Chain A
Amino acid sequence: MGSGQRQHSAEAEQDFSNIDRAGLLAALAGILPASALLAEREDLKPYECDGLSAYRELPVAVALPENEAQVVAVIKACHAAGVPIVARGAGTGLSGGALPHVNGVVLSLAKMKKIVRIDPVACVAVVQPGVRNLAISEAAAAHGLYYAPDPSSQIACTIGGNVAENSGGVHCLKYGLTVHNVLRARVVLVDGEIIELGNHGPDAPGYDLLALFIGSEGLLGIVTEVTVKLCPKPQTAQCIMASFDDVMKAGEAVAAVIAAGIIPAGLEMMDKPATAAVEPFVKAGYDLNAEAILLCESDGTPDEVAEEIARMSAVLQGSGATEIRVSTSEAERLKFWAGRKAAFPAAGRISADYYCMDGTIPRKRLGEMLTAITGMEKKYGLRCINVFHAGDGNLHPLILYDANIPGELVRTEAFGAEILKLSVDLGGTITGEHGVGYEKINSMCDQFASDELGVFHAVKAAFDPPGLLNPGKAIPTLHRCAEFGRMHVHGGQVKFPELERL
């Protein structure tokens, strides 16, 4: 079936089961060398999931183009054949955004990893999508510059994936997310046409399509080149580790720091179960008696850092910190952070499996959320440890479970969905930085009404009329929401009144 006959719609999932697999493989074989086209089961296996391994699917093929011309040709071939395309970077995503489509092609951009150029005067780097996040900073270091967003997977994750997810990191309170640090993206549309969004100037004419595109999870187009902003490296940085005998007090201390007019370079919270999990593993020197610890970082010139550290210490003291330690060397600062950055692997050490949540809430609702999570631990019979980008309200509860124990995964998913639902009810969102992907698609029905979901589908259709780019991800169909039974009553209105109920 050609793409012309199939049209994307908000109502129901598209059916791609009638695609011509042999014809597709023949077309792709004419574009890519044999080494860049995978179609055997054992070769496809490594691509069956991304960083969220609970969901797995084998695609029809994996295409590994080396240049933009090949990307365009692959997309045109898929477009002509009406075949879904799932773009993939390093596959470190945590929401199943790169989960293959059973009737689709995985388009890996991993081979396109050239740093095209670095302009130290204009403070920009032009890179291909497969360049790793950290590799940009490494390449810019010689000029005293770096790329600011630093997701915890930065050693492996690619800039193309960062653009797709609008990735954040521990320093984004001060330095922003991907959307604040990307100037331009070169994008291949579903019909193979190339467009450029943004530019090397401060803005572009027309609607801000670059802002719309960033975080669109591979549903609007495929990036083949990105220009990022580089920032001058701060001369120095110092970190405070503050202990609290009560999680709520730690939360109030965060508010007090911000009320004092300080935007720390990093502001992270870990609860007692989290520090207990990481300390034996990393030996970061965390206070294991504290109910919660805060990490507060300042960066800038030595004088500036000294001034800010003194002000922050006073505020934390005034907020009831039971102990305050300030890093005295770069090694010690990095050790403080090592514990935080190792929270996920540490969860993997103390539990067979863990499930990471990503809701954001207004910070003042933290107490309600943590109390509710404690209740859910009892309700579902599962433990949960909490790490928290405290500065911006982005919470990462890690639910510990064992997939080999029958029923635990199902209970874990229900636990997670309840946390996300509560995030929305508290005035927040189901995902702060990991994306909706496949994982949270049902929870989208909690956050958005059918009118907004309809608009999202229409926005997708404005870029991708046949609906071939990462179908079934990020935005649920109205049918899915109705079937899922998320018929919450908001403001006296039943959601999805236009759909029949089973």
Chain B
Amino acid sequence: MSNVVEDFRSRILEKKPLRIRGSGSKDFYGGPLVGDVLETRAHAGIVNYEPTELVVTAKCGTSLAEIKSVLAARRQFLPFEAPSFGDDATIGGVLAAGLSGPRRMAVGSLRDFVLGTRIMDGSGRELKFGGEVMKNVAGYDVSRLMAGSLGTLGLILEVSLKVLPLPVAESTLRLEMTQADALAVMNRWAGKPLPISATCWHDGLLTVRLSGAEAAVRAAQATLGGEVLADADAFWDDLREQRAAFFGGETPLWRLAVPSVTPVLDLPGPILLEWNGAQRWLRGEFQPSTVREVMTTVGGHARLFRGASEAHRAVGVFRPLPPAIHAIHKRLKQVFDPYGMFNPGRMYSDL
């Protein structure tokens, strides 16, 4: 047993509130930061990478950048394109945040690529769920439950992820159109066998990335039309990392998750669409109730992603849960973290 893991255990056994933190790249996200920092970066390193088995296993403190570069050397990648929001994002933080990038609608979300985890629970026990194989239905899928749990269920020690080969060819197209037209077009294309791997609409411009076999990309380019965008990788990187101009400034940033076919929303303010319209970014000072009412009518949910005041963070930036589901959350929290130490209030105030 490594000393680092033993240190984690002794910290946990003190039974005091702990704020689990990798590089802190997502400190802005979720509820308030409570508890003494438990640094994970000392527990780092790729434990196993088998390109032909399509799996990589890494300790929680391993940087996302390192994993990406090791995979890239074998022409593979993490297809969900998780944002780093900083140079030092760790894989443990990536899993806990559960965020996916531009390719999400084409390949699936982060949780779709989780194969296994090793965690330490609130009693200091090391627990292993899932594994390193693609198909595994033994026991409940606790590994995927960790994705997006914001560190509230335990200290993620290790994660195994499915990887995929990099696409042979990619090309990005740009077309001018209104938001309503873009929504119609993105949804129509999504129902066709086209190799679309990402979409983004903002300010009258629809940007579409194609990925796949040479022949498929070439044919789709002819079908879709538009101009080929030069330096497309920079465009998608800036979008994923929220470095694009739209994300600049201090105005609150709302993230709206809606059915992709939802029409143009009745919420004023600068908006940027991704994921065929299923993920919409909105800038503006809104009453949470205003946004949530609109979301309820369209069957979506909103979170205040960036720029929440401390007061707002304390009340919660995520949509409240229905009572029966909330009750299950509380019971699950009790299973993994009976003393309520891990990132208290980071997701909901009473978790």
Which A positions have Cβ atoms within 8 angstroms of B?
119-123, 143-145, 165-166, 168, 172-173, 176-177, 179-180, 189, 193-197, 199-209, 211-212, 214-216, 220, 230, 232-235, 255-256, 258-259, 261-263, 300-301, 303-304, 306-308, 360-364, 389, 391-394, 427-436, 440, 444, 447-449, 451-452, 455-456, 458-463, 474-475
Contacts and interface: CB of A to CB of B under 8 A. Distances in A.
Interface in B308-338: 318-319, 321-322, 324-326, 328-329, 331-332, 334-336
Contacts of A165: 137
Given A201-B278, A307-B215, A207 B332 contact: yes
A433 B137 contact: yes
A391 B129 CA distance: 22
A436 B140 CA distance: 11
Contacts of B136: 360, 428-429, 431-432
Given A200-B299, A205-B318, A234-B193, A212 B140 contact: yes
Given A216-B140, A429-B138, A195 B324 contact: yes
A458 B127 CA distance: 14
A143 B133 CA distance: 34
Contact of A455 (B135, B138, B142, B148): B142
Nearest to A178: B137
A261 B72 CA distance: 12
Interface of B: 50-54, 75-76, 98, 104-105, 108-109, 111-112, 121, 125, 127-129, 131-142, 144-145, 147-149, 153, 164-166, 168, 187-188, 190-195, 212-216, 218-219, 257-261, 275, 278-279, 299-301, 303, 318-319, 321-322, 324-326, 328-329, 331-332, 334-336, 347-348
B108 A193 contact: no
Contacts of A232: 190-194
Nearest to A255: B52
20 contacts: A122-B259, A122-B260, A123-B191, A176-B112, A189-B324, A200-B259, A201-B258, A201-B299, A206-B348, A207-B332, A212-B145, A261-B75, A429-B131, A429-B136, A432-B136, A451-B125, A458-B335, A459-B140, A461-B331, A462-B334
Nearest to A259: B52
B219 A172 contact: no
A389 B135 contact: yes
A391 B144 CA distance: 22
Given A303-B215, A307-B215, A215 B258 contact: no
Nearest to B125: A451
A235 B147 CA distance: 34
Contacts of B326: 206
A167 B318 CA distance: 32
A193 B324 contact: yes
Determine which residue in A195, A215, A304, A451 has the highest number of CB atoms from chain B within 10 A of its CB, and name it.
A304
Given A201-B301, A205-B303, A301-B219, A364 B53 contact: yes
Contact of B144 (A172, A212, A261, A306): A212
B141 A179 contact: yes
A261 B219 CA distance: 21
A436 B137 contact: yes
Contact of A432 (B127, B137, B165, B279): B137
Contacts of B219: 301, 303-304
B141 A258 contact: no
B140 A392 contact: no
B139 to A, nearest CB: 5
Contacts of B261: 119, 121-122
B247 to A, nearest CB: 19
A394 B326 CA distance: 36
Shortest Cβ-Cβ A-B pairs, 5 listed: A303-B215, A261-B165, A432-B135, A462-B331, A211-B144
A304 B219 CA distance: 9
A200 B261 CA distance: 10
Contacts of A458: 335
A27 B153 CA distance: 40
Contacts of B258: 201
A61 B153 CA distance: 40
Contacts of B164: 263
Contacts of A436: 137-139
Given A394-B133, A455-B335, 10 more contacts: A165-B137, A195-B325, A214-B141, A300-B195, A430-B138, A433-B137, A455-B121, A455-B336, A459-B140, A461-B331
B328 A463 contact: yes
B161 to A, nearest CB: 14
A209 to B, nearest CB: 7
A263 B79 CA distance: 13
Nearest to A299: B193
Given A300-B212, A303-B216, A462-B332, A144 B192 contact: yes
A428 B133 contact: yes
